[in-house]
A and B are shown apart, each in its own frame.
Chain A
C-alpha cells in the first residue's frame, strides 16, 4: 500500500475566491452552493411543531403537485432521474399520448437570459442530429416559468450503468455496443458537436438494447461559466473525463476528450471500474494527467491484448496520441470483432509527423495540386464512360490519384508505428544533397527513395514511407526525437555529393535510444557504381539489424530496373520533376524518361513513369491551359489520329503531339496504355508495372478478370506497395465486393497514413459502398491533415449530400471549387443545385464547364451529370453516350451516385440498364 508522498485532500476542493455566505460570511459550501454553516445552525432552532404528520398536513395544503403537472404540452408522470444538470421525467405527450422523456433545467441554474439563449441554441443544434444511436430530441421549449426543457425518446432499457454488471463478462457485447456509440460520436463530431460528458449514465438502452447517447453537448454550454465551483460540477463525471478538460478552456477542447471518455467507458465495462477513481473531480483529473491509465489486463488478465491496446490508445494522456477520430476507434473495434489486426498496434503517427504538411507548405500545395489534377483526370475516364456520377468520378479520382501518387510511392509502403517501436525498424531520412548544383537534388532524393523501397521489401522490417521520412527534409531535429516520432529504433541518414562523374555518398546508421552510431561508411566512386553503392548500404544495414536476406544476390536487393547509370540518373531526374506536379514538371519528366529510354530501351520503370506522365499531362490539363483548343467535332471518328510512341521527338514536338493528342482523347489514352503495356512487357515482375497495367485493364479495357490478376500480382510482388492496394480497393468497390474493398483501402491507409491522397481514396471507397459514417471519419482525418485541400471539402460535400444535409453540402462543395477543384467538383455542385431546384445556379455551372472546355478537356460526362440534376434526362444520356464512346471506364459509380444524389428518375430510365450493359456491368 503506497503512501502518497505529499498529502492531498480527496474530500474537498480548495477553491480560490469562494464567495462568502451573505448570511454568515462562511466560505464552506456544499454541492450547489449550500452554506453548510447556515444549514447546520438551523439545527439549533427548536421552536415550533415539526412532526411528520403536521408537516405533511401543511404540505398537502399547497396545490403544487408533481403528478399531472404540465410542462408545455407534456403531462409529467413521474421523475425518473436527477443529476446536477437537471431533472428527467417520464411524461405523456398531450395530443399523441406518446410516452416521452422530458428533461428540464433546475430553476436555480437558469440565471440569465444569455444562459437561456445559449441552452436553446445548443439544444436545437443537438436536436438536428439524426443517428440511430443518438437519443433523438423531439422538442426544445420553455416552461411557463421560463425554465428550458426538451423532450426526447423514452429509452425503456435503462442506462448502460445499470446494464454494466451483466455486460462485464461479455467483452464482445461490450465492444459491439461501444462500436455503435463510437460511430454515433463520430457523427456528432462531424456535425461540430462535442459531448464532453460521456459516461455510462449518458448512454441509454432502448427496447432492443441498442445504445443511445444522450445529454449531447449540454455539458458544453453548462461549463461556460466563470464560477469555478460550478465549473467543477459541470466538467463531467469523474472517472470518464479527459485530463485536459480541467486545464483547457471549453473552446479549446477537441474531440479527443470524447475519445478518452469512450475508452474510459469501455474500460469500465470490461474491468468493472473506471480507469481512475477518486473522491472528486480534481483528484481524478490529477491522476489521469500524471499517471498512465492502468492496463486492462492488470485488472482482467484474461482480456485480449488487442482490446487492451485499443483502450490504452483512447486513454493516452496526450490528446494527439489518441485515436484521431471516434470513427477510427469504431473501425478498430470492428476489426477486433472480426478477428483482424487492429490499427492501434500500428497506428499512432506522431502529431508532429502529421503536421509535416504545415512545415512543408510547398509540398503540401503540390500535393493538393496533384490531387486536383488527378481527380479531374480520373473523372474524365468515368465521365467518358457515361459516369457522371460522383461515384464514377470518385473511382476515377481514386485510380488516378494513385497513379499520381506512384512517383511519391516508388518507394515502398510503411507499416504505421505502434506505441512501442519494433526492434526491426528503420527510418531512412532524406539524404542531404551536398552538390553545388541544386539540380542534383534529384539524386539524393532518388537514392533515399530507392533505399526505402529496398528496405520495405525485407520481410519483418518496418520502414516508414517516404511521406513520413521526407517530413524531416531540411529540418535539423534531434535524431532521438525523430525516431520517437516515426516510431523506429534505427535511423539511416547520409549525404550525396556529385562531382563530375563521381559520387561521394556517406551513410550512417544511428540507434535512436542512445544516439550511438551503429555503422557508417563513405563511398567515393564513379557514378556507374551507384547501384553497387545502394546494394552495399542495404547489405550493411541488414547485417546491422541482424536480419536475414531471403536470398543472396541481386534478386533480394532493390530492383533498379537498369544497370545503366546514365539511364538511371535520367529516370531519377524524371521522378524528381514529376513530383513537382506542375506542367513544366511533367514535360521535363517526359523528356527525361524518353532520354532514358533512348539509352536503355528496355527500362521498364521508365516506361511506367512515362505512362503516368502522359496521363497527368492530359488529365491535369496543364499542357492545354496556355492555349485555347479549337473546337472539334468529337463525333468525327475519321479525324482520329493514331499516335505512336516516338522516343526521338524533341521537346517541342512532344508538346505539339500532346496538345494534338488532347484533341483526341482516344489517342491520349493510347499513349498511356501503350506505355503501360510496354512497361509490363519488359519487366512483369515489378509491382509498379503490374499496377499500371492493371489500371489499363480496369479503366480502358474493362477486362475485370485480367485487371484483378494484375492487381493481385502487384500486391504479391510487393505487399507494401500502397498504389496497388489503393487501386485494387477502387476496383473491388466497383465490383461491389465491399468487405474486400474496405480491407485494401485500410491497408493502403496503414501503409501511408499521412497521405491526403490515400485518405481521400479511402473515403471515396467508403462512399461507393455507402459506408457514410466511415466516409465522414475519413473526411475528418483529411480535415486534420489538409484543412485547405479541396479534396477534404469535396469528401465532406459528398457525405453530407448523401445524408440529406444539402445546404451543408452546397457550402462544402463551393469550398472545394474555390480551393482548386476542377470540372468534377464543379459538376457535382451543378448537379446538386439541379436536384435542389436551383436551376439558375445549375445552368450557370453548365456554362462554366463549357468555358473550361476551351482550355482543358472537360468530359461530356461532367455535363451529363449536371443535366441529370436538372432532370434533363435526354441531354444527360446523350452526354453519357459520348463519354462512353470516347473513353473506357466502369460506369458502376453512376448507379451508386444515383442512390446518393437521389436521381431515381435517371436510374429507372429504360436507357440506364442498357448503358450499364455496354460497360459490362449488371444493372
Chain B
C-alpha cells in the first residue's frame, strides 16, 4: 500500500548498508516539512523567536550533518517522537552563547522570512488551551496541523495538475465530514455543472484526501500499521487543546 516512506529510508540509512544519499534526502525533506513543530516547541520552552529560529536551524543542521542518522532507533518507530526527544536533548546541551554551525552540506534552507511569508500557517487555539498546554503537547498539535496542511496541499497540486483547481477551491472546505448546510445545487451553479457532478467530485476529492493524509502520516512512521495509531495520538493531542 505504501511506497517506501521517508522515515523508512532514514532508518535504512542509519544502517551502514542503507543508501546514504537517499536517506539524507529523505531526512531533509522531512525536516523541511516538519520544522514548525520544532520551532513551536523551542519557543514554548521560553526562547525568543530569533533564538528559536537559530536553534531550529542549528538543530536540523545537527541531525543532518552528524551521526544522528545512525542513532535513530528503529525500535522507536516514529519520526515525530524521535524528533521531539532529540530537540529536548539538544536544548539541554545548547550553550548560552550563540552557536552557529557551519551551514551547507547540500541542504539549502529557505530564508526564514520567506518561510514566514510564502507559507503562512496560522494555528488558532483558545487562550486557555494555549496557556495550559505543555510544550510537548503544542509540539504534537503543530505536528497534526502540519500533517493536515500537507495533505491538503498535495490534493490541491494534484487537482491543479489536471486543470481542476477551480473545482478544488469550490469543494475544499467540505472535504471533512458532512456539512448539513451544503448546497450542491449552488456549488454546481457556480461551477457550471449539475449538482450530481458536484456530489460525485466531492466524494472523489474526499477519498483522495484521506489517502493523502494517511500517506503523510505514513512517511513519519516505520510501520504502516502505526498509521492509525499515530493519527489517533494526534487526535488526542487536538482533543486536549479543545
- Does chain B have a CB within 8 A of A458? no
Q: Which residues of B lie under 8 Å from residue A29 when comparing CB positions? A: 123-125
- Does chain B have a CB within 8 A of A361? no
Q: How far is the CA of A26 from the CA of B234 in the complex (A)?
A: 14
Q: How far is the CA of A79 from the CA of B169 in the complex (A)?
A: 13
What mask results when residues 42 to 58 of chain B are scored 1 for a CB within 8 Å of chain A, else 0? 01111111111111000
Instruction: Count residues of B near A (Cβ-Cβ below 8 Å).
Output: 96
Q: Which residues of B lie under 8 Å from residue A14 when comparing CB positions? A: 125-127, 129-131
Whether the pair A13, B158 counts as a contact (CB closer than 8 A) is: no
Question: Which residues of B (172-192) have their CB < 8 Å from a CB of A?
Answer: 173, 175-179, 189-192
Q: How far is the CA of A739 from the CA of B170 in the complex (A)?
A: 58
Whether the pair A39, B48 counts as a contact (CB closer than 8 A) is: no
Whether the pair A25, B242 counts as a contact (CB closer than 8 A) is: yes
What mask results when residues 310 to 351 of chain A are scored 1 for a CB within 8 Å of chain B, else 0? 000000000000000000000000000000000000000000
Whether the pair A1, B96 counts as a contact (CB closer than 8 A) is: yes
Q: How far is the CA of A18 from the CA of B193 in the complex (A)?
A: 35
Q: How far is the CA of A101 from the CA of B33 in the complex (A)?
A: 31
Q: How far is the CA of A10 from the CA of B173 in the complex (A)?
A: 26
Whether the pair B123, A30 counts as a contact (CB closer than 8 A) is: yes
- Does chain B have a CB within 8 A of A253? no
Q: Most chain-B Cβ atoms within 10 A of its Cβ — which of A23, A30, A42? A: A42
- How many Cβ-Cβ contacts under 8 Å join chain A to chain B? 280
Q: Which residues of B lie under 8 Å from residue A34 when comparing CB positions? A: 148, 152, 173, 176
Whether the pair B164, A59 counts as a contact (CB closer than 8 A) is: yes
Q: Which residues of B lie under 8 Å from residue A58 when comparing CB positions? A: 200-201, 204
Whether the pair A30, B145 counts as a contact (CB closer than 8 A) is: yes
Q: Which residues of B lie under 8 Å from residue A251 when comparing CB positions? A: none
Question: Which residues of B (195-242) have their CB < 8 Å from a CB of A?
Answer: 197, 200-201, 204-211, 213-214, 217, 227-228, 231-232, 234-235, 238-239, 241-242
Whether the pair A238, B117 counts as a contact (CB closer than 8 A) is: yes
Question: Which one, B10-18, B65-73, B108-116, is touching chain A?
Answer: B108-116
Whether the pair A10, B49 counts as a contact (CB closer than 8 A) is: yes
Whether the pair B152, A43 counts as a contact (CB closer than 8 A) is: no
Q: Most chain-B Cβ atoms within 10 A of its Cβ — which of A12, A16, A52? A: A12
Q: How far is the CA of A409 from the CA of B108 in the complex (A)?
A: 62
What mask results when residues 39 to 63 of chain A are scored 1 for a CB within 8 Å of chain B, else 0? 1111111101111100110111111
A876 to chain B, nearest CB (A): 58
- Does chain A have a CB within 8 A of B78? no
Whether the pair B124, A18 counts as a contact (CB closer than 8 A) is: yes
- Does chain A have a CB within 8 A of B64? no
Whether the pair B40, A11 counts as a contact (CB closer than 8 A) is: yes
A215 to chain B, nearest CB (A): 14
Whether the pair B125, A31 counts as a contact (CB closer than 8 A) is: no
Q: Which residues of A lie under 8 Å from residue B217 when comparing CB positions? A: 43
B177 to chain A, nearest CB (A): 4
Given contacts A29-B123, A34-B152, A280-B122, 12 further A-B contacts (CB under 8 A): A1-B95, A4-B46, A9-B43, A11-B40, A12-B130, A31-B121, A36-B148, A42-B175, A44-B231, A46-B210, A84-B120, A87-B169
Can you name 17 A-B residue pairings with CB atoms under 8 Å?
A: A2-B48, A7-B44, A9-B43, A12-B124, A13-B122, A26-B242, A28-B129, A28-B241, A30-B149, A36-B148, A40-B234, A59-B158, A61-B200, A65-B166, A107-B170, A108-B173, A239-B113
A residues bordering B, Cβ < 8 Å? Answer: 1-16, 18, 22-46, 48-52, 55-56, 58-67, 69, 79, 84, 87, 106-108, 145, 161, 199, 201, 229, 232-233, 237-239, 268, 272-274, 277-281, 283-284, 287
B residues bordering A, Cβ < 8 Å? Answer: 36-37, 39-40, 43-55, 94-99, 111-114, 116-117, 120-127, 129-131, 138, 141-142, 144-145, 147-149, 151-152, 158-160, 162-167, 169-170, 173, 175-179, 189-193, 197, 200-201, 204-211, 213-214, 217, 227-228, 231-232, 234-235, 238-239, 241-242
